[in-house]
Chain A
Amino acid sequence: KAGVTQTPRYLIKTRGQQVTLSCSPISGHRSVSWYQQTPGQGLQFLFEYFSETQRNKGNFPGRFSGRQFSNSRSEMNVSTLELGDSALYLCASSTQGDTEAFFGQGTRLTVV
């Protein structure tokens, strides 16, 4: 079956702009989590959606938001981009959230 698909793979934005990233989970998976990964910082949890509801949230400012649609596809939005938002953004899906999480290849965001 198809894996987790993240689009776009690469993105360059200017400070102050906003960006929307997309994640299509594995068919049948209802949990989608988002992570920010920067060199030396590991995986920083942004939020998790389950059946269109935000179930868990990490410690990120309100500029970071997300949503999940009825088909489990998810989007995350970052408004008023800052240079420090440059990172690899990873999406992971799972059936319930406590079983195996399958990751996409990520979206590499560069803010200039």
Chain B
Amino acid sequence: QQQVKQSPQSLIVQKGGISIINCAYENTAFDYFPWYQQFPGKGPALLIAIRPDVSEKKEGRFTISFNKSAKQFSLHIMDSQPGDSATYFCAATDSNYQLIWGAGTKLIIKP
């Protein structure tokens, strides 16, 4: 019940296309859902985050869509660029303040 399932494991998208990464969870006590971006040789960095009281949050080309009833949330990257090529992690946190991580998605944007 503590798991966050992330898919796909890897994704190749053409430049200018839309990249979509999905995550699903079981624990209804989760109340904070961040997405992190990691470039090779670097630690992950927070990209965008959402709380369950909203269904969508947009920051520039990055959007989180949140479906509370389905216990799913997804990251959409519009107009994907080669510089977006990275590994993306979804996560969720509960009242114990512990981040539960998805397995990661390696995104490659082809020029």
Where the two chains meet, the residues of A that have a C-beta atom closer than 8 Å to any C-beta of B are 4, 31, 33, 42-43, 45, 48, 50, 55-56, 90, 92, 96-106
- Given A43-B44, A103-B44, 4 more contacts at CB 8 Å? A42-B101, A92-B43, A101-B99, A102-B45
Cα-based distance from A43 to B45 in the complex (angstroms): 13
In the complex, how many residues of chain B place their beta carbon closer than 8 angstroms to a beta carbon of chain A? 20
Cβ-closest chain A residue relative to B95: A98
Q: Does B12 contact A (CB under 8 A)?
A: no
> Known: A42-B102, A45-B99, A92-B43. Is A97-B49 also a contact (CB below 8 A)?
no
The chain B residue with its CB closest to the CB of A44 is B101
Q: Which positions in B face A, CB cutoff 8 Å? A: 31-32, 34, 41-46, 49, 89, 93, 96-99, 101-104
A73 smallest CB distance to B (angstroms): 17
With A42-B103, A43-B101, A45-B98 as known contacts, state yes or no: A98 contacts B43, CB within 8 Å.
no
Contact A48 B46 (CB under 8 A): no
Known: A33-B99, A42-B103, A56-B98. A97 touches B93 (CB 8 A): yes
**A-B CB contact pairs (8 Å), 13 listed:** A31-B97, A42-B101, A42-B103, A43-B44, A43-B104, A45-B98, A55-B97, A90-B44, A92-B43, A99-B32, A100-B49, A102-B46, A103-B45
* Assembled-state Cα–Cα distance A78/B32 (Å): 31
Question: Within the assembled complex, what's the spacing in Å between the Cα atoms of A106 and B39?
Answer: 12
